Structure 1
Amino acid sequence: MASHTKIIFNPCENKENQYIAILVNALEKHGYDVNRLDDFLSSSKHYKSIKLLHLNWFENLDDSSAKSMWKSYFRKLIVLAAVRLGKKKLVWTMHNRLSHEKKSGKLSRALTEKIVSQADAIVIHSKVSKEILRSQYPNLNAKIVHIPHPDFVGVYGPMIQETDEKENKKLKLLFLGAIKPYKNIELLIEIAKKFPESVHITIAGNPNSEAYRSDLRKLAEGAGNVSLQLKFIPDSDLPKFIHEADLLILPYSLESSLNSGTVILGFSYGRTVICPKIGTIDDLEAGEDVFDYSYSSQSEHIQALETQVQKAIHVHQANPILLIEKGHRLKDLILKKNNKQNVTDNLIRLYESLLN
């Protein structure tokens, strides 16, 4: 029985990602008392009361400086030691192949090994994650549970109704999300320069540093078909941004990326994507409704990306409505495969199996 059972879900809030809110709200509605990780060791009484911890992105470290990175690492080791000593149940969600942060890669991998060895259950959002885990950790004892990423249908407000007419002008591409180097934003600007007459790219999101913001602005100088919205995009504006685009373009790194909430977000609001074949794409088995691709080097990446953009241009020029129809079919697909009610029900069942 979940009523008043104290658990930690970390992070328990994230203003930039409603994924957390969907899960935490469902857990609280079911009766779990969800607490912050920061309060885990606040008192002996509170520490003893916690029955289960669910960690997301826990392997990521603050790499703003060497001092911060090591401090972050040792603080997390203390948390894991406290979990083990207190015989708390530990759940970890595997979001990425590797940490996206280059500077802290070795420490992050060491921390991941400790999490994996200690976890009672590992939640994966894509089937390929199980193969990756088994290959990296052959002695893995944790229960691996495949629970899809929840859909975002209606979460950021209602979907804007499509108009009957689509102007057959430039193909409007949108990158949406936090602006970080591993997301290959530079490739988007390069692509825009290759198709000045047939493509317009909007890049919307908050860069992870002022230096990176400045670099992107310099790179986009002179590209009249690139719109830089380098700022935090409020939740209420997301449906409008997506509606105004013909499709999303997300040139993620295959080296580290595994799942994408932004892909799910695009589908939830009726838009298809140009994106590498990450786990999220593979699981959906959407066929020709997605412009997916693979690559094994940076030079191959730009070529593969260019090929998919060219395909999207041809579809758009033939009939712009065809791209919108792809997006709407994908919305229907994730309502079946990523239904947020089913997702949260499965998470609750996992907790109950560990606690009972």
Structure 2
Amino acid sequence: MDIIFNPPANEENRYIRLLVRELRANGYRIHPLDTIFSSYRHFRSIKLVHLNWFENIDTSHFFKSLRSFLRKVAVLTIIRLSGKPLVWTLHNRTSHEKGAAFFSRILTRLLVRWSSHIIIHSAQSETVLAAYGAKVLERATYVPHPHFIGVYGDPVAAAPPEGTALQLLFIGMVKPYKNLELLMDVVGALGRRVQLTIAGRATDSRYQQQLAGRAQAVGNVTLLPYFVPDGELPTLLGRADAVVLPYDLASSLNSGTAILAFSYKKTVICPEIGTVSDLDGRMADTFYYRYRTAEQHRVALTQQIERALVLKQDDPEALASRGRRLYQHVAAAHDPRRIGDELDRLYRRITDKQHR
């Protein structure tokens, strides 16, 4: 079956590579969205279109944002008029890019309205969709986020600690919604009892410079301001006691980075986003928290880091034990092969229904 799966490749996001690999193993021929109008014959051959993050807009310049928005509306309209089934994966509550929030909201409404089926990765996503009407939930299907076990190599055993300091790691793209300034302030206030490494590239060089200045002032923060090569990830994760992800609850819903941490036997310090709440009985193995205001976020984050610090001081193996249990959970519940099979069944159900 020829389908559009977009984006079909992303060197910095193994989520896409994992799903495309499983779909190809199930016999799908994957094409990028940009080729859909390359010829009439090709357009007719496409049986289904599956979009990820399509509601996101380039915010570098207003006219670029407008052009991107209009192009996407045109593409969605043509797909709608053609009668091709449209599948959309809901990844976030709202777009993280505040500069194009108006355009993103319109695209999200169109995607919700016109999608034959909506993939969700967490139970919290149902609340997001329900805001568009109860009937929307009838077109939603839960499919787990694939784990990353073995994707970047085997886990690296942590070296014996040189002291009792809590080793925290933030990893991922460096963007304002990830609250890294707040994290550095909290870690700075806790002093040398905590050591934080921030590993990731900022899309904005000025923002990167601001963070570098802040890290230098704080003193117990190390910045690795580049895209971390695959081969370095296991070592970075191996050195950490926990991965810390102080996300913005207003927009964040799922976290591939949290799944990455579990895949490498690490617990997380993180707000109660959908990925964490779906852990059910394993939630207690994370350091999750809730907040409403920026000040509540500061207090809650501080409390959870202090909890992890005390736990490590009382039992040096306690955090590693939590990480191992989370690893076992995602190994069973987030197997990429199972997820590929679930998408295969969904696609065939949608296309079979269309041809009746």
Scaled by the length of structure 1, the TM-score of the pair is 0.96
Counterpart of 2:38 in structure 1 is: 42
- Choose which of 213, 227, 234 in structure 2 pairs with 1:218: 213
Partner of 1:254: 249
**1:251-291 Cα deviation digits (max 9, x unpaired):** 00000000000000000000000000000000012132100
Q: How far did residue 142 of structure 1 move?
A: 5.8
User: Does 2:295 align with 1:299?
Assistant: yes
Of stretches 73-82 and 291-300 in structure 1, the one that deviates more from structure 2 is 73-82
The 8 Å contact of residues 185 and 218 in structure 2, kept in 1 or not, is answered as no
Contact 2:9 2:17 in 1 (8 A): yes
| Residue among 266, 269, 275 paired with 1:271 | 266
- Per-residue CA deviation, residues 111-160 of structure 1 (Å, 9 max, x unaligned), is 11011110000000001111220123345376100001011110111112
1:176 equivalent in alignment to 2:161: no
How far the C-alpha of 1:222 sits from its partner, in A, is 2.6
Q: 1:49 to 1:141 in 2, by over 3 A?
A: farther
Q: 2: CA distance between counterparts of 1:217 and 1:224?
A: 11
1:185 and 2:180 correspond: yes
Q: Is the 8 A contact 1:174 1:203 kept in 2?
A: yes
Which of 133, 136, 158 aligns to 2:132? It is 136
Query: Superposition pairs for residues 1-356 of structure 1, below 5 Å?
Result: 5-140=1-136, 143-162=139-158, 165-285=160-280, 286-356=282-352
Deviation string for 1:310-347 (max 9, x for gaps)? Answer: 00110111122110110011000111221222111111
Summarize deviations over 1:178-203 as a string: whole Å, max 9, x none: 00000001012101211112000000
Q: Which stretch of structure 1 is more off in the superposition, 168-177 or 290-299?
A: 168-177
SS in 2 for 1:9: strand
State the secondary structure of the residue aligned to 2:278. helix
Contact 1:48 1:86 in 2 (8 A): no
Letter of the 1:79 partner, please give it: V
Number of aligned residues? 351
1:205-261 deviations in Å (ceiling 9; x for gaps):
010110110111111223221000011111121111100111100000000000000
For normalisation by structure 2, the TM-score amounts to 0.96
Q: Name the CA distance, whole Å, in 2 between partners of 1:322 and 1:140.
A: 43
Shift of 1:83: 0.7
Give structure 2 stretches of 5+ with no counterpart: none
Question: Quick check: 2:26–2:341 contact (8 Å CA) kept in 1?
Answer: no
% identical aligned pairs: 43
The DSSP-based 3-state class of the residue aligned with 1:7 is strand
Comparing 134-143 with 190-199, which one deviates more in the overlay? 134-143
**What's the offset of the Cα at 1:51?**
0.8
Amino acid at match of 1:132: V
For residues 103 and 340 of structure 1, the distance between their equivalents in structure 2, rounded to whole angstroms, comes to 34
C-alpha distance in structure 1 between counterparts of 2:315 and 2:8, whole Å: 44
Write the distance in 2 (CA, Å) between the matches of 1:107 and 1:318: 50
By percentage of residues, which structure has more helix?
2
Q: Is the 8 A contact 2:156 2:237 kept in 1?
A: no
Which amino acid in structure 1 is aligned with residue 194 of structure 2? V
The whole-number CA distance in structure 1 between the counterparts of 2:284 and 2:80 is: 47
The amino acid that maps onto 1:61 is I
Answer whether contact 1:120 1:142 (CA < 8 A) is retained.
no
Q: Which is worse superposed, 246-255 or 131-140?
A: 131-140
